[in-house]
A and B are shown apart, each in its own frame.
Chain A
């Protein structure tokens, strides 16, 4: 190429002198550097601190994220007509897949009557949440029992429960009292999230009295009117552990319900922070961490404690539940009163016909069909967009009004708490682990989640245990899964690791 020719051709550009444009160029470059620096500092300085109202020794957890989703349930608790209820054996990890069903289709049961028991643990009965007629026993794969459906009576009748003197009863009496009255499966044992064996004495018992998950119910509504049952439940639990009963309290609430704040005979711990600060796993970590697979602690939710206490205060198996119905595809986010394992379609009453229906919260709940039932421990139904669409150039668009922790979006740089629409689209494709440090920002625990996940994938048992797999449950890593650039199924990986360790 004749360079001289080319340059003659382009002589128009040659007339501009660099000396003239150089000051402008350098101003532009330094200006941009300054702008980016200011934005960086701004995003750090404007970062929201977790609100802390309570005074005293509040553990402030700065990591995590509150996903602002539209459709937060509000208002008073409404009554709702639900006819069908179900108990689903698959809600309990690791119980024998074909439990022994003790009822037949057509039988009438009282609330609290046993429906089935685990063949490996025959004393632990699983109770019917309502009185009514057994209408169906659904079988799943390999003849396992998927669900036992009870059609509720108009007037509820309860199994008669002999009274027990809590003060004088021995631990053994209390354990068999709970087991035969169907209350034992309400207790969750960590690690592994299993129903405890009857002879297990837990090191400690933990109860989180607040839920930070998106669209989660307010526990003050749940405990209202059941304060005595809640306190009695705590008293029962105190007799079951060799250690203490720990209560996690909400450090960001204006006013914590006195049923929690003035509960007696328990250790109280105040936490303030973003989700997952309300997760019991996070609270255990900051109170008395689980050290290994043999270090057993129990966890219960507020509703479970109330049911436990109700056995004594009301003398019946009270499986009533306050359920929060929320999400951007719900026309009227609300609270309803029903019983455990309610039919989701009846609960929604025509709401959420379009969208993804989830039993539990949007991070760790289970996708359900309208005809299916609420899971055993869930007191929340979330309905969000299904997200079955193709988004043109979605991966490069500079900003969208979406909840994000990624600072490639303005929402990630300067997050607003304004509620937004959300859907179940992956917003990307599944990839190998590439980015680092993402999960650590989402988990307020001294744990390296990414390295733990890699240890699970490579079946490195020693590393799994050393890195603290026993401290975790699916709900704890759910937010990491939300934030993951590579869309890795962290909850599934974690459960795989837990299952491998459990079956050893």
Chain B
């Protein structure tokens, strides 16, 4: 264990250089699981821990990053009129996308973890892993053209106001990654809405997304994009939300490992489909007439329900509550999508809204359990 001895030797003094020690501890525990042991309580513990849990979510996101890079490049060259075929210039597209996406990821990690480290030091406890997931999710829900300074502001706002103010990982009320996005949406709407932002690096190019086109009915969407194109995600959009099969792959991985709740995901799909039936039957606008199943192809429904709604901290925490929570998100998201022509992507707002109501949902579930106990008394 030469490496361990080396790291033990360079451990900074906790009292003299606290911040350095916090930093050291953060990196050391990534290298080694410490020798912590209980003195009382259960003497055996499962091998899983929060680091493992969080890193598994990041693993589920990796395919989305790779595809996201490609698609950023692809949309860029498409707008320029070069390498129009999907298979042409893959290397160039990957390189262009990487140069756009990786800085966003690096900045997201640097800023978010920096704040996390600082608060861990201030509060005198170990660095928590929650931001690994948040920091990996934020780039995926931003357009690649987003100016870096706006990104930095959004992350600072989301992490400090959304998480640290509530006491850090595990205490926040709303989804931190979505809070970053909603900050950009309200503070700098022109950088994250409209037709001009979804293709990176081509000035003056405006390409409508499927959702924008769907205001005029499904036919106008298919005039521009084929369903296969939408399904595989070769459409303009946020970095990581476009490829449906890869999202399903990640979601299945999280369901298999039991990290994300299948109840929330299935509930969300049920809620969305039911609402889709209602709108199809109503049919007052062309958007309402879009068949319910095509809503899976457009926008970020699958991404939101698989990765955003299932954040265990902000979701409902009882099994029955999770069903209700998922269904409400599905239903509300579609309502916002259809009734808000200015910004048709409803999931961000729907999830934040239902996040706030999640404790209330749990409250009613718990109340019924408590009432049952009282009744038998």
| A, B assembled together | yes
Are the CB atoms of B92 and A10 closer together than 8 Å?
yes
Chain A: which residue is nearest B86 at the CB level?
A: A18
Chain A residues 5-51 with CB under 8 Å of chain B are 6-7, 10-14, 16-22, 26, 29-30, 32-33, 36-37, 39-40, 43
Are the CB atoms of A16 and B87 closer together than 8 Å?
yes
Distance of A471 from chain B, by nearest CB (Å): 9
Which residues does A use to contact B, with CB under 8 Å?
Answer: 1, 3-4, 6-7, 10-14, 16-22, 26, 29-30, 32-33, 36-37, 39-40, 43, 67, 69, 214, 289, 291-292, 295, 356, 358, 362-367, 382, 384, 386-396, 400, 402-409, 412-413, 422-437, 440, 446-448, 450-451, 463, 466-468, 478-479, 481-487, 489-492
Are the CB atoms of B31 and A389 closer together than 8 Å?
no
A422 to B96, CA, bound (A): 50
Are the CB atoms of A429 and B36 closer together than 8 Å?
yes
Distance of A329 from chain B, by nearest CB (Å): 12
Which of B137-145, B183-191, B207-215, B256-264 lies at the interface with chain A?
Answer: B256-264
A391 to B126, CA, bound (A): 18
Distance of A16 from chain B, by nearest CB (Å): 6
Is the C-beta of B82 less than 8 angstroms from some C-beta in chain A? yes
25 pairs, A vs B, C-beta closer than 8 Å: A10-B95, A11-B91, A14-B89, A17-B85, A18-B86, A18-B87, A18-B90, A19-B87, A36-B253, A40-B256, A356-B43, A364-B42, A392-B3, A395-B51, A408-B257, A424-B38, A425-B35, A427-B45, A431-B50, A432-B168, A435-B312, A437-B261, A467-B373, A478-B41, A482-B42
Contacts of A26 in B (CB 8 A): 232, 245
Is the C-beta of B252 less than 8 angstroms from some C-beta in chain A? yes
Known: A3-B80, A14-B91, A436-B312. A425 touches B43 (CB 8 A): no
> Assuming A3-B96, A36-B252, A402-B47, what are 6 further A-B pairs, CB within 8 angstroms?
A11-B89, A394-B33, A395-B52, A435-B50, A451-B318, A482-B45
Contacts of B315 in A (CB 8 A): 436
Contacts of A362 in B (CB 8 A): 42-44
Known: A29-B245, A394-B33. A14 touches B92 (CB 8 A): yes
Distance of A501 from chain B, by nearest CB (Å): 15
Known: A14-B91, A21-B87. A33 touches B42 (CB 8 A): no
State the main secondary structure of chain A at its contact with B. Answer: loop
A483 to B47, CA, bound (A): 9
Contacts of A492 in B (CB 8 A): 40-41
Which of B149-157, B289-297, B362-370 lies at the interface with chain A?
Answer: B362-370
Chain A: which residue is nearest B171 at the CB level?
A: A432
Are the CB atoms of B256 and A413 closer together than 8 Å?
yes
Are the CB atoms of A427 and B49 closer together than 8 Å?
yes
Known: A407-B256, A425-B37, A432-B170. A390 touches B48 (CB 8 A): no
Most buried by B among A382, A487, A489: A487
Are the CB atoms of A406 and B47 closer together than 8 Å?
yes
Are the CB atoms of B130 and A434 closer together than 8 Å?
yes
A437 to B259, CA, bound (A): 10
Are the CB atoms of B48 and A409 closer together than 8 Å?
yes
Are the CB atoms of A408 and B56 closer together than 8 Å?
yes
Chain A: which residue is nearest B129 at the CB level?
A: A431
Is the C-beta of B280 less than 8 angstroms from some C-beta in chain A? no
Distance of A493 from chain B, by nearest CB (Å): 9
Task: Scan B10-52; emit 1 where CB is below 8 A from any A CB, else 0.
Answer: 0000000000000000000101111111111111111111111
Distance of A365 from chain B, by nearest CB (Å): 7
Contacts of B32 in A (CB 8 A): 390-394
Is the C-beta of B342 less than 8 angstroms from some C-beta in chain A? no
Is the C-beta of B374 less than 8 angstroms from some C-beta in chain A? yes
Are the CB atoms of A16 and B90 closer together than 8 Å?
yes
Contacts of B36 in A (CB 8 A): 425-426, 428-430, 487
Is the C-beta of B161 less than 8 angstroms from some C-beta in chain A? no
Most buried by A among B3, B48, B94, B366: B48
CB-contact partner of A481 in B42, B55, B76, B95, under 8 A: B42
Contacts of B99 in A (CB 8 A): 1
